[in-house]
Amino acid sequence: MNEERNLGPQPIGALLAKHELTANDLVRASTQQLTHKMVARAVKGRRLTANTMDKVLVALNAASEGTYARADLFTYEPTRKVKADDDADGLDDEG
């Protein structure tokens, strides 16, 4: 599993600027356990799980009163937690 972890600045940064929002605004708007660190990682382009991406998305929509989708905030698909059983056969998912 050699996925790149740092994917560069993400569109969420521009959306925060457009709505004049800060990481603190998202944390306060969140009804879930969203931290400043999660928001900072999202903006920087650190690879996130689907759960964290969704927390950031819900908070942004609440704070901006928008209806953004995950693809509007991020340029990549979330990581998938691999269970020990998934790779037991030694084959890639592709073949």
- The overall pTM is greater than 0.85: no
Compute the mean pLDDT over every residue in the chain, rounded to the nearest whole number. 86
DSSP the chain: ----SB----HHHHHHHHTT--HHHHHHH-SS---HHHHHHHHHTB--BHHHHHHHHHHHHHHHT----HHHH-SSPPB-PPPTTTTTT---TT-
pLDDT tens readout for residues 57-79 = 999 999 999 999 999 999 998 87
Task: Please tell me the predicted confidence (pLDDT) of residue 92.
Answer: 57
pLDDT tens readout for residues 29-38 = 999 999 999 9
**What is the average per-residue pLDDT within 9-14?**
94
Whether residue 19 contacts residue 41, with contact meaning beta carbons closer than 8 Å, is answered with no
Backbone angles phi, psi at 49, to 5 degrees: -80, 165
